[in-house]
Amino acid sequence: MNPLAPTLLLVHSPLVGPLTWELTAAHLRREGQRVVVPSLTAVVEEGPPYYRRFAEAAARALDMDGSHGAVVLVGHSGAGALLPAVAEVVGTDVHGAVFVDALLPHPGNSWFDTAPVQLREQVAGLARAGRLPRWHDWLPSDVLDTLVSDVGLRERFIAELPTMPVAYFEEPAPNAPGWPASRCAYVRLSEAYAGAADEAERQGWWVHRENADHLALLTQPARIAGVIARAVAVVADT
């Protein structure tokens, strides 16, 4: 392991669990990368402010690992919106960030503010007593079966899914003045995030478009680990 290489902080979406990253993390470690995968699944039970609490949980995972020196944040899906807050808590050690099929930062706006109208109405309609069902229940019944065909792996993935308070989706993302917007890369895995990848490219980020799917980091970890390593090398050298 290169002692000068950055630690990779792999942040999962609040809607899923750390298993989403753990198999890819194992491949990255075998390639000599230092990797930390925080678990954010219980954070919402602490109440608002959610973004700050997610960021603090991610930073604690770094501290518990004993990681020192440069850090590259890597966020998947909904974790993309969290990365500026994570960078703010972790501080000057953050060297850059990689967004993997992820939302782009939206400081000052909530998830509901930025979501397409149809998706926003769909999600709001699922709420019961201020909570949303687990993420796989948002989808048609066969979608997750297709994305994660291995039954055992799919059951482990589902077991980690939290129910989410609607208040999380209503909370504006905080401003993060120290956010390293010039040291970012974007990895698009699915067509659903083509627009985000295009916007990242317009902002001058390094962008890689992989012909995969949204959960490829769970089902094709060796392949995605290779792509992540390339993206990290780009932002670490900037």
CATH assignment at residue 100: 3.40.50.1820
- Tell me if 168 is assigned to some domain: yes
- Tell me if 1 is assigned to some domain: no
* Helix ranges, the chain (H): 19-30, 50-65, 83-90, 111-114, 117-126, 143-147, 151-160, 166-170, 194-202, 216-219, 221-237
206 touches 183 (CB < 8 A): no
Three-point CA angle 178, 201, 36, nearest 5°: 50
Domain that holds residue 161: 7-237
In this prediction, residues 208-212 reach a mean pLDDT of 97
What share of the chain has pLDDT > 90, as a percent?
79
- Tell me if 182 is assigned to some domain: yes
Quote the DSSP letter at residue 107: B
- pTM, 2 dp: 0.95
Question: pLDDT tens, 133-192?
Answer: 999 998 888 999 999 999 999 999 999 999 999 999 999 999 887 776 679 999 999 999
Whether omega for the bond prior to residue 3 falls within 30 degrees of 0, making it cis, is no
Number of domains forming the structure of the chain? 1
- Tell me if 167 is assigned to some domain: yes
Residue 179 confidence (pLDDT): 73
Residue 219 confidence (pLDDT): 98
Residue 34 confidence (pLDDT): 94
Average pLDDT score over the chain: 93
